[in-house]
A and B are shown apart, each in its own frame.
Chain A
Amino acid sequence: MHIQELILRLQRFWADRGCLVGQPYDLEKGAGTMNPLTFFGALGAKPWNVAYVEPSRRPADGRYGENPFRVYKHLQFQVILKPSPAKVQDMYIESLEALGIDLSKHDLRFEEDNWESPSLGAWGVGWQVVLDGMEISQFTYFQQVGGLDCRPVSAELTYGIERICMFLGGYDNMFDLVYGEVKTDDGIFPVTYGQMRQREEFELSAYSFDHADLDLHRTLFEAFEKEGWRLLKDHGHFLSAYEQALKMSHTFNVLDARGAVSTTERPGIIKRVRDMACACAKAYLEHEEGSSTACADGTDSKSKLQGGAK
């Protein structure tokens, strides 16, 4: 199956089950969880179902486009269901069937894998979903986001798009995957993932391992941090401040990939990102409480808000 087709099917499937189809957030980030649609969406009492693709950057995973399985940037398909439905596992399994996976012939397991994002102050419990021995999804019941208890609890499903495509097509190299077909007056031209992305993988890997200016990144980290706190403290703006936290996180990841962060420094730097993310989460909830927008079920969101800072 083409990558594009897989994305379209997942979007259709989850839209039919009552999800908004969201868009990737236009800033570098390590995972779909960092998209405000999830980070803020998982907070508070408002019902919230959303599904979207998120290109996720992990500088340390870069392999210059030479490794057939590992890349600097991969695509996640992210689903948030709040509150977590009673039949959420069944819904997930149906989504696999929508991709053409006949479960009567495959081995499917949910193996414990508890997710934690120290830089977002977030954690949950759940599984990695393993199909015939391959991890194809991460399944998490959010317990805390931004240091705040999730009430109600959201279910987060994350599909590894390239992996699933490779697996379904029996590909041994991610770059051989077909993204989709371009049809013109001159004919039909299949476009591979390699054509679209291999050079990008090479350059971005080279950047994060070899060329990134370390002094610049250290300066940027400090500057983003300062900017974020200014936005929060002087203006009470949590969305623009959160963007600064995302930039801090990515800057840290680049420094880390260059081996410029010592093991002793690391927890301190992560904490600085987390502190800002948590402050944004708190400001968001306070804002939500203040604005008292009506919930979809007609009750006031204020009355349902129970989450408090821990």
Chain B
Amino acid sequence: MSATKTFLLELHCEEIPARFLGSLAQDFQSAFQNWCHQHHVGYLQEGEVQPEPECFYSPRKLAWRYRGLMAIQSDQTETQVGPPQRMCVDESGKPTIQGEKFAEKWGVPFSAVRFEQPAGKKEPCAVVTVTKAGRPTVELLQEALPGLIKGLHVPKAMRWGHSEFEFVRPIRNILCLFGEQVVPITVDGVTATNTTWGHRLHHRQHPEAVKVATPEAYEAALETAGVVVSVDVRRARIAQQLDHLAAEAGGRVVADAELLDTLAEIVEFPKIVRGDFPAAFLELPKEVLVTSLREHQKSFCIEKPDGTDLLPFFLTAANRMDDPAGFVKAGNEWVLKARLYDARFFFAEDRKLPLAGRTEKLKALTFQRELGSYFDKTERVAQLVETLAGRLSQDAAHRARAVQAARLAKCDLRTLMVGEFPELQGIMGGEYLKREGAHEEVWKAVKEHYQPAGADDAIPGTPMGCLLSLCDKLDTVAGCFSVGLIPSGSKDPLALRRAGQGIVRILWERGWALTPADLAAAALGAVGAKATKPAAETTEALLAFFKDRVGYQLELAGYAGSVRRSALAAGWADLADLRARCEALSAFAEDARFASLAQSAKRIGNILKDETADGGFDEGLLAQAEEKVLAQQLAKVEAVADQKALLAALADLAAPLEAFFNAVMVKCEDAALRAARLSLLHRLRQAFLRVADFSLWQ
């Protein structure tokens, strides 16, 4: 039993890129915990609850704190194997010289030596159990920490000065304490002490280093030196200030969780500053302002409380406590004005030429080497839209507008604004078309056609937007597959799975009667001679791909595993039908009769595996009561059209089926009877498969 202490390590570096902070903190944490485990450096006394390890980070700091670490490593017992027994004792049973030497080597009397046959040895050998006293944890830490630090995985490592040491950014100070004691490790020439540095501004006013007397005093010591070292605390303080300042300005913050995280990661002391920009810039589309402020200035926009328009204010984070001379506000306003001036220049320049005037320029923009330019892609998508719109709409004018939207969809790739902000693709096209007086359906379809951008993003709000989005993604997926660019394992550089998921989601949510097989055929037709792989091979790969996407869609929709597997196996060509079956199955998921049905379905599958049963079925041949009952029930099931009623009828089959299998021998001697029974089972299976493959229920 030994006392416990708290361990603290801080690496003070030049500014570490925000995107690496979290993963570096985690990386060390798992490496350290592994090391503790391997080296029997325990936590606390037995039975006590282990406190959570803590990690801290800020632009210049990575730190970890572990409470309740034993001051002395646990004793370790090890078994040592020596020479064979015959060499250690003579015939009279006395120890030989060799035997005594073995005992001496491990510091035990010969009487403590046992003779056992260890695994892998052919005869009994001398064996001793040695207890190694635990060493002081501080010594172990000193030996291990430099290696653990060097072993951290740094995604973009650098060297500096003369050193060959590589890390994320130069390490300039190390604070390392075990209780009050300094663990004097040295990494790349920097030796640990019990001091660190605070905020740059604090440091310039107070040249002395900040002393951290105990690990527990860490956050408080740094806060007085101008650093809030916990990212969670910084994030919470920023969120609170954002809300407060936005409300003060009469609006609310345009939420952006990623930007909030970024701000919390790039400052050591968070101060949110509100600035103004000239109201004239509000003529720019909201998306342009939000994107420009976010990308260029890491700033939040403020919108009216109803979420419509923006107000001419922005909120940004300063890395200091205050803005005593108003320089931070003025500086950010100045820069923002320059940025918005640029955005307005792009917006004005772009509108000098109608969007459609960029169609030809798409020829110089490569979509993919084999598949040609964005001009070629546009042609294919327009063709697809024309084909599919024909199946979805009777309105010729509407169909013509859909094709028009397809022809305009990619034109904004050649605008200055999208050149500056690629994430505004689609949005700008829509905004420019709106201002050109295009039909609302057209500009909205262009604006929305990149949606859904991910699992969290909605599908386009308009039917035409959905059709355009679907055709664009379909062309991308089918086109890439047709030239052999097929995602495999974790490799999906063109994000085809995301595009495929978008297609499936649109079909799913819209309930359109378009099957993936139809879509694949239409898209490959449009790709035509550009394909480098045989069409049959591509179709097969595409269908397998879509089946996976549909399966994942079922998962996203929240259906249970049994529902998903059995429904999917009974067919997925018609997504509306699949959805109805999943809904119906989910309603019955708790019904105990389904477990019995699943058993019977498996038995039917096994029996029919090696048989060729056909529909030819002479009910008159059935002999036993149980099979006659079953046949009657089946006839009822076959007459039901509605999915829910069908499932209820199927559930009613559970008991007769059980009775049937208990009483009837299917593969009987009488060939005609046997054929009749097999046909009965075949028909049963067909009835099941209208809803689900119940053999996959569990």
Q: Is B106 an interface residue (CB 8 A)?
A: no
Query: Given A83-B161, A107-B319, A143-B159, are A133 and B338 neighbors across the interface (CB < 8 Å)?
Result: no
**Do B201 and A104 touch (CB < 8 A)?**
yes
**Do A131 and B366 touch (CB < 8 A)?**
no
Q: Is A141 an interface residue (CB 8 A)?
A: yes
Return the CB mask of A157-185 against B: 1 if under 8 Å, else 0: 00000000001001010000000000000
B142-185 residues at the A interface, CB under 8 angstroms: 156, 158-162, 169-170, 172
**Do A89 and B338 touch (CB < 8 A)?**
no
Q: Is B305 an interface residue (CB 8 A)?
A: no
Return the CB mask of B270-295 against A: 1 if under 8 Å, else 0: 00000000000000000000000000
**Do A112 and B161 touch (CB < 8 A)?**
no
CA of A302 to CA of B345, assembled, Å:
54
Residues on A with beta carbons closer than 8 Å to the beta carbon of B365:
263
CA of A151 to CA of B267, assembled, Å:
32
Q: Is A105 an interface residue (CB 8 A)?
A: yes
Query: Given A86-B172, A105-B324, A112-B15, are A153 and B159 neighbors across the interface (CB < 8 Å)?
Result: yes
Q: Is B352 an interface residue (CB 8 A)?
A: no
Return the CB mask of A235-269 against B: 1 if under 8 Å, else 0: 00000000000000000000000000011100000
Residues on A with beta carbons closer than 8 Å to the beta carbon of B334:
132-134, 167, 170, 172
Residues on A with beta carbons closer than 8 Å to the beta carbon of B366:
262-264
Interface of chain A, main secondary structure = loop
A82-136 residues at the B interface, CB under 8 angstroms: 83-86, 89, 93, 103-112, 114, 124-125, 127, 131-134
Return the CB mask of B359-383 against A: 1 if under 8 Å, else 0: 0000011100100000000000000
Q: Is B18 an interface residue (CB 8 A)?
A: yes
Query: Given A107-B331, A109-B266, are A69 and B15 neighbors across the interface (CB < 8 Å)?
Result: no
Partner of B319, one of A89, A109, A114, A143: A109
Q: Is A68 an interface residue (CB 8 A)?
A: yes
Q: Is A12 an interface residue (CB 8 A)?
A: no
CA of A150 to CA of B345, assembled, Å:
41
Return A87 CB to nearest CB of chain B, in Å: 9
CA of A242 to CA of B323, assembled, Å:
48
Residues on B with beta carbons closer than 8 Å to the beta carbon of A217:
none
Query: Given A109-B319, A112-B17, A263-B365, are A132 and B330 neighbors across the interface (CB < 8 Å)?
Result: yes
Q: How many interface contacts (CB-CB < 8 Å) are there between A and B?
A: 114
Partner of B341, one of A69, A106, A153: A69
Q: Is A152 an interface residue (CB 8 A)?
A: yes
Partner of A107, one of B19, B158, B328: B328
Interface centre among A85, A89, A105, A167, by most chain B C-beta atoms within 10 angstroms, is A105
CA of A112 to CA of B262, assembled, Å:
12
Residues on B with beta carbons closer than 8 Å to the beta carbon of A107:
318-320, 323, 327-328, 331
CA of A206 to CA of B31, assembled, Å:
59
**Do B335 and A134 touch (CB < 8 A)?**
yes
Residues on A with beta carbons closer than 8 Å to the beta carbon of B211:
none
CA of A294 to CA of B318, assembled, Å:
48
Return A175 CB to nearest CB of chain B, in Å: 14
**Do A132 and B161 touch (CB < 8 A)?**
no
CA of A16 to CA of B156, assembled, Å:
34
CA of A134 to CA of B275, assembled, Å:
14
Residues on A with beta carbons closer than 8 Å to the beta carbon of B325:
105
Residues on B with beta carbons closer than 8 Å to the beta carbon of A151:
159, 162
Residues on A with beta carbons closer than 8 Å to the beta carbon of B323:
107
Return the CB mask of B440-460 against A: 1 if under 8 Å, else 0: 000000000000000000000
**Do A108 and B319 touch (CB < 8 A)?**
yes
Q: Is B509 an interface residue (CB 8 A)?
A: no
CA of A109 to CA of B268, assembled, Å:
10
Residues on B with beta carbons closer than 8 Å to the beta carbon of A85:
161
Residues on B with beta carbons closer than 8 Å to the beta carbon of A108:
200, 319
CA of A5 to CA of B156, assembled, Å:
38
Return A259 CB to nearest CB of chain B, in Å: 8
Return A19 CB to nearest CB of chain B, in Å: 17
Residues on A with beta carbons closer than 8 Å to the beta carbon of B19:
112
Nearest opposing residue in chain B for A81, CB measure: B161
Q: List 15 A-B contacts (CB under 8 A).
A: A67-B341, A67-B342, A69-B342, A104-B201, A105-B327, A107-B320, A110-B14, A111-B15, A112-B15, A127-B15, A133-B331, A133-B335, A134-B332, A141-B158, A143-B158
The 4 closest A-B pairs by CB, nearest first: A132-B331, A112-B17, A133-B332, A110-B15
- Taking A103-B204, A104-B324 as known contacts, 4 extra A-B pairs with beta carbons closer than 8 A to each other, sorted by chain A number, are A107-B320, A134-B332, A143-B159, A172-B337
Which residue numbers of B lie inside 8 Å of A, CB to CB?
14-15, 17-19, 59, 156, 158-162, 169-170, 172, 200-201, 204-205, 266-267, 297, 316, 318-320, 323-325, 327-328, 330-332, 334-338, 341-342, 345, 364-366, 369
Which residue numbers of A lie inside 8 Å of B, CB to CB?
63, 67-70, 83-86, 89, 93, 103-112, 114, 124-125, 127, 131-134, 141, 143, 150-153, 155, 167, 170, 172, 262-264
